[in-house]
């Protein structure tokens, strides 16, 4: 059975195994292409501290040398494209915001929406220079429009599957976030945590101000401000 990789986006914590596969699809953005170079140890070092591993590392593993290998897309997908897996069809929805290359996958026949890091049932990270709140707003609206067609949302962190329904609340909480009328519940080294009507966001002042980095430089998700 051939295996094809299609990442929800190309942050370091989603593409570390890409180099192992001969067939990798991607959205064609400059950001994606930059991330194909892999992430050096320096850029992901904070994720290789002993306490970040569960269970403990094998005795012969040396996390001080961990990095992610370069990889190459073998093909590109476009917004709206349908991928026929044989007995299951996935539609690609390009939903930039969390990153320029964030995508969701809609399995309409089975009522499933794979939301990547655009939505999962935990604090939602909108923190790094490659994040665009304007783009995220549009993408969230688009997913709200799709949500009534599905039974389950499958995010890329924390909780594997939740019943469809929360996206409209996330959207309205997000609009309150960008209104600037709410204060963070916690602030730690430039990381701002908000809890708005029970929806948690993690962001940075620079993101809230609409500033962004150069997406063509790529970004790991840890290369903060
Ligand atoms: Zn991410």
Residue 225 covered by a domain: no
User: From ligand 1's centre to the CA of 193, what distance in Å?
Assistant: 16
Distance CA 141, CA 139 (A): 5
Angle at 43 between CA 37 and CA 46, to 5 degrees: 145
pLDDT-derived band at 22 (thresholds 50, 70, 90) equals very high
- Specify the CATH number for the domain of residue 95: 3.60.15.10
User: From ligand 1's centre to the CA of 219, what distance in Å?
Assistant: 10
Average the pLDDT over each of 33-42, 89-98, 128-137, 211-220 and give the range with the smallest value. Answer: 211-220
Residues within 5 A (CB) of ion ligand 1: 11, 117, 221
pLDDT, tens only, 120-144: 999 999 999 999 999 999 999 999 9
Residue 209 covered by a domain: yes
Number of domains in the chain: 1
User: From ligand 1's centre to the CA of 210, what distance in Å?
Assistant: 18
pLDDT-derived band at 56 (thresholds 50, 70, 90) equals confident
User: From ligand 1's centre to the CA of 198, what distance in Å?
Assistant: 21
- Distances 79 to 116, 121, 160 between C-alpha atoms, Å: 15, 25, 24
pLDDT of 46: 85
- Distances 211 to 36, 129, 139, 190 between C-alpha atoms, Å: 24, 7, 18, 14
Residue 129 covered by a domain: yes
Residue 59 covered by a domain: yes
User: From ligand 1's centre to the CA of 145, what distance in Å?
Assistant: 22
- With a cut of 90, say whether residue 48 has pLDDT above it: no
- With a cut of 80, say whether residue 186 has pLDDT above it: yes
Residue 224 covered by a domain: no
3-state class percentages of the chain: helix first, strand second, coil last, to nearest 5: 30, 25, 50
Q: What is the dihedral of CA 156, 158, 164, 170, to 10 degrees?
A: -90
Residue 182 covered by a domain: yes
Which domain, by its residues, includes 22? 5-217
């Amino acid at each position: 059975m051939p295996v094809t990789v299609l990442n929800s986006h190309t942050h370091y914590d989603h593409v570390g195994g890409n180099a192992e596969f001969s067939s990798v699809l991607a959205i064609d953005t400059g950001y994606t292409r930059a991330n194909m170079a892999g992430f050096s140890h320096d850029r992901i070092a904070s994720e290789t501290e002993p306490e970040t591993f569960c269970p403990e590392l094998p005795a012969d593993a040396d996390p001080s040398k961990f990095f992610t290998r370069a990889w190459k897309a073998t093909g590109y997908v476009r917004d709206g494209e349908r991928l026929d897996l044989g007995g299951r069809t996935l539609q690609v929805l390009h939903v930039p915001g969390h990153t320029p290359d964030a995508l969701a996958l809609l399995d309409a026949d089975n009522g499933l929406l794979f939301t990547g890091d655009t939505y999962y049932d935990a604090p939602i990270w909108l923190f790094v220079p490659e994040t665009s709140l304007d783009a995220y707003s549009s993408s969230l609206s688009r997913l709200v429009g799709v949500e009534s067609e599905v039974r389950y949302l499958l995010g890329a962190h924390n909780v594997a599957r939740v019943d469809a329904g929360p996206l409209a609340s996330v959207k309205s909480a997000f609009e309150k976030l960008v209104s600037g009328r709410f204060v963070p519940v916690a602030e730690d080294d430039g990381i701002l945590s908000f809890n708005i009507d029970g929806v948690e966001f993690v962001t940075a002042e620079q993101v809230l101000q609409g500033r962004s980095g150069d997406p063509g430089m790529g970004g790991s998700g840890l290369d903060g401000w």
